Amino acid sequence: MTTKRWGLMVFAVALMVFAAVASSRGWLRPIDSKTLMHMQPGSYAVKQFVDGDTVMVDMQGTTETIRFIGIDTPETHKPNTPVQCYGPAAAAYTKNRIGSQRIRLVSDALTTNRDRYNRLLRYVVLEDGTYLNKELVQKGYAFAYAFPFAKSDEFHATMEQAQKAKAGLWGNCAPYQDPNTGQWHTPSEVADR
């Protein structure tokens, strides 16, 4: 064995011994997920909650509107569209679920970076690692989109489970599917009264 390799091996063993001693004496502590999220690039504070599938974040001094990839929650603020059944519930759930924590934004290789309204399209990941987009579908606050995206199969399977369980809007509204686009919608809240 060469002197250089021997030296590297001794250094590696010494480093492992130091790490074991430091860990056993409490010198090294794991970083909690909130601290890690604050240090991580792509982690942002939400400035404003628009509705169940849209938030606004501060990206280094620029306000960006983030549209959640792959999902659609019932409308609450769309011009010329009445508030839809379960729209306010979806908006409240998103706001409560995110709260004051930071979110990580993840793009999707199968979608465009921005939609036609110039909103960034992203998966929203919470501090605990939860993909909020999928959770909204799972709990019956959102529909999976009909167009292709990387997690399309996973989100559609999740939506079928929510539908069978009558979770959220599936048990409280009368969702219908647009035969032309394949997109799901809920009726207006006024129609439900």
What CA–CA distance (Å, rounded) separates 119 from 67? Answer: 6
Active-site annotation holder among 29, 64, 75, 114: 75
Helix (H, G, I), strand (E, B) or coil at 97: helix
> If we measure between CA atoms, which residue out of 74, 79, 67 comes closest to residue 89?
74
Catalytic residue among 29, 64, 67, 116: 67
189 is catalytic: no
Which DSSP string do the residues of 98-109 spell out, in sequence order? HTTS-EEEE--T
- Whether residue 127 contacts residue 37, with contact meaning beta carbons closer than 8 Å, is answered with yes
First to last CA, the chain: 83
Which of these is catalytic: 64, 97, 104, 119? Answer: 119
CA distance 120 to 108: 11
Give the SS3 label for residue 71.
Answer: strand
CB count in 10 Å sphere of residue 86 = 27
Q: Which residues contact 186 (CB under 8 A, 6 or more apart)?
A: 74, 84, 85, 86, 87, 169, 173, 174, 175, 176
For this structure, is 67 an active site residue?
yes
Residues with catalytic roles: 67, 75, 119
